[in-house]
Amino acid sequence: MPPPLPVVRTVAELRAQVAAWRRAGERVGFVPTMGALHEGHLSLVRLALERAQRVVVSIFVNPTQFGPNEDFDAYPRAEARDVELLAQAGAHLVFAPGAAEMYPEGFSTTVSVAGVTEPLDGAARPGHFTGVATVVTKLLLQCGPDVAVFGEKDYQQLQVIRRLVRDLDIPVEIVGGPTARAQDGLALSSRNAYLSAQERPVAGQLNAILRTAAGRLRSGEPVAAVEADAVRALTEAGFRKVDYVEVRAAGDLARLGPGPIEAPARILAAAHIGRTRLIDNLAV
Amino acid sequence: MPPPLPVVRTVAELRAQVAAWRRAGERVGFVPTMGALHEGHLSLVRLALERAQRVVVSIFVNPTQFGPNEDFDAYPRAEARDVELLAQAGAHLVFAPGAAEMYPEGFSTTVSVAGVTEPLDGAARPGHFTGVATVVTKLLLQCGPDVAVFGEKDYQQLQVIRRLVRDLDIPVEIVGGPTARAQDGLALSSRNAYLSAQERPVAGQLNAILRTAAGRLRSGEPVAAVEADAVRALTEAGFRKVDYVEVRAAGDLARLGPGPIEAPARILAAAHIGRTRLIDNLAV
């Protein structure tokens, strides 16, 4: 039985605990989440534990990063189970604020990142990354960790966070954690809970098709043909709508030429099955 | 002779010194400036020294808060003299970064505040407060002070900073310092150096006219009439253009009704003499 894991709901309590650890000379790690935790999140907690003596996990389903027609209300919430999983994984504190603690009366400040936020999910989900950038800035400044861990599954988000942390001089090290996957390659996601039994095998094809595409890019095939073939393959596999399959520069997500890749790249995709939108990405 | 005052140009040096002070248990105060220092700035340094054992002053003429037709190039720069004045005032460190330290290649993040930035100087100087909010966020996170002092002379800016610090959870106490004035009431400003001998006595009328207006408001006269009379008086005194004279709620700068004031208010004005734009404000 792991020891009971404290859950705090205010920034004041969070800061008091972090300050006490820091006075004791301990490094503090931080893993921000929206809850509904799975093995992907837990792998990030373990990564944080390798780099810090104490690990804080936040659980906050941030309304400002959901569009008006997105799944904010439906997004799975399972705090009691999340806390149990985090205790087993060895986390030391859960910060689970309410919306009023995060966005008090009169809240009116936003953090925006240009460039890296514009293509891909930035184009498909207007306003999404401003919501992410603002809440992540807040969470990092509320907690004040030495190191914060974010999943590579949300690869564009990770690049946005790296950029805003550098640009705003937030004193924290950002670490990306590898994507955890099911046996068929499906990236673990809280949104996989939306998939029906019929949809679940189709979902696994997203990763299989990206693996095939990445292999072709590595053997020198041109970007434009590989992208087009992957979109076609997703549609044939049963995805109802493909938001994008794009090969981009690994760091700033700049567009590449249509020919063979010449520098570190990433292939990223977003596609819909039924009411579920899935994303995935691979290094090339 | 005060001891020589160290000047550092990188965030790394700034943080190393602040961390050393903090390890020694000392509180750190911070006064961000654009240099060309006068008694107003020095009064803020003294205020910081009352609240912290160590005081850092930054000198950075921030290009992003100047509009394309404003006075960025002409803005007075006098670093050697500034450092001498700060040594005499008892400051402990000057942080004077270059533009490349503040805005490295690929910089693309902005902090925006809605509401309180929109009227007054926000309307007269598009983009100004986004430049201010972004650079102040950076400076506060670079230095990491316990307390930061800003002048009430830039009253709207002070309210913008209070808002963004609260909204983004920047762990610092913000203190406003009273406006230092010349004998005739002119608010001290680095831009007063632009005034010719003919313009200087006219400039003093800005404060005199606001004092008269504030007195009338205190005795219950209606906002609309007092504002209109102050605009007329400024024009008659020789101001070439009046950007605004407005009475607003002291905290969020919300517009008031046209009648007598009923809660803490502030009267704020901006007006031009020749090529010089002056601002001032008073509590009502």
Residues of A in contact with B163 (CB under 8 A): 106, 108-109
- For testing contact with chain A, the best of B105, B108, B117, B172 (most A CBs within 10 A): B108
Find the CB nearest A106 among B142, B170, B252.
B252
- Calculate Rg over the CA atoms of chain A: 19
Does the CB of B76 have a partner CB in chain A at under 8 Å? Answer: no
Residue A2 has pLDDT above 80, yes or no: no
Does the CB of A218 have a partner CB in chain B at under 8 Å? Answer: no
φ, ψ at A263 (rounded to 5°): -150, 170
Instruction: State pLDDT tens for residues A33-47.
Output: 999 999 999 999 999
Report CB contact under 8 Å: B138, A169.
Answer: yes
CATH of domain B7-177: 3.40.50.620
Q: Could you identify the residue written with the tokens 């949104």?
A: A191
pLDDT band at A4 (very low <50, low <70, confident <90, very high): confident
Residues of B in contact with A119 (CB under 8 A): none
φ, ψ at A33 (rounded to 5°): -140, 165
CA distance B115 to chain A (A): 7
Residues of B in contact with A141 (CB under 8 A): 141, 168-171
Instruction: State pLDDT tens for residues A86-144.
Output: 999 999 999 999 999 999 999 999 999 999 999 999 999 999 999 999 999 999 999 99
pLDDT reported for residue A1: 64
φ, ψ at A75 (rounded to 5°): -55, 130
Does the CB of B106 have a partner CB in chain A at under 8 Å? Answer: yes
B93-95 sheet: strands from edge to edge: B7-8, B93-95, B54-59, B28-33, B147-151, B173-177
If one counts every other C-beta atom within 10 angstroms of the C-beta of residue B264, the result is 10
CA distance B85 to chain A (A): 28
Structure tokens at B184: 């005739």
Structure tokens at A212: 């095939």
- Of 3.40.50.2300, 3.90.1150.10, 3.30.1300.10, 3.40.50.300, which CATH number belongs to B190-279? 3.30.1300.10
Residue B107 has pLDDT above 90, yes or no: yes
Catalytic residue from among B41, B92, B128, B272: B41
- For testing contact with chain B, the best of A109, A110, A130, A164 (most B CBs within 10 A): A109
Residue A243 has pLDDT above 80, yes or no: yes
DSSP 8-class letter at A260:
-
Comparing A7-177 with A190-279, is the CATH topology the same? no
* CB proximity list for A199: less than 8 A, separation 6 or greater: A238, A273, A274, A276
Report CB contact under 8 Å: B116, A108.
Answer: yes
Nearest CA in chain A to B143: A169
- Calculate Rg over the CA atoms of chain B: 19
Cβ–Cβ < 8 Å for B61, B75: yes
φ, ψ at B109 (rounded to 5°): -110, 135
**Greatest alpha-carbon span in chain A:** 58
Catalytic residue from among A38, A41, A92, A272: A41
If one counts every other C-beta atom within 10 angstroms of the C-beta of residue A207, the result is 21
pLDDT reported for residue B128: 97
Cα–Cα distance, B22 to A152 (Å, whole number): 35
Segments making up each domain of chain A, as ranges: 7-177, 190-279
Residues of A in contact with B108 (CB under 8 A): 113-116, 163, 167
Nearest CA in chain B to A136: B168
Find the CB nearest B171 among A110, A115, A144.
A144
Q: How many CB pairs under 8 A join A and B?
A: 77
Q: What's the average model confidence in pLDDT over A235-254?
A: 97
Does the CB of B174 have a partner CB in chain A at under 8 Å? Answer: no
Report CB contact under 8 Å: B144, A171.
Answer: yes
Return the percentage of chain B with pLDDT > 70, whole number: 99
Does the CB of A160 have a partner CB in chain B at under 8 Å? Answer: no
**Closest residue by Cα to residue A240 from A190, A268, A276:** A276
pLDDT reported for residue B4: 84
First to last CA, chain B: 42
Q: Can you tell me whether residue B76 is helix, strand or coil? A: coil
B272 in active site: no
pLDDT band at B2 (very low <50, low <70, confident <90, very high): low
Cα–Cα distance, B184 to B13 (Å, whole number): 42
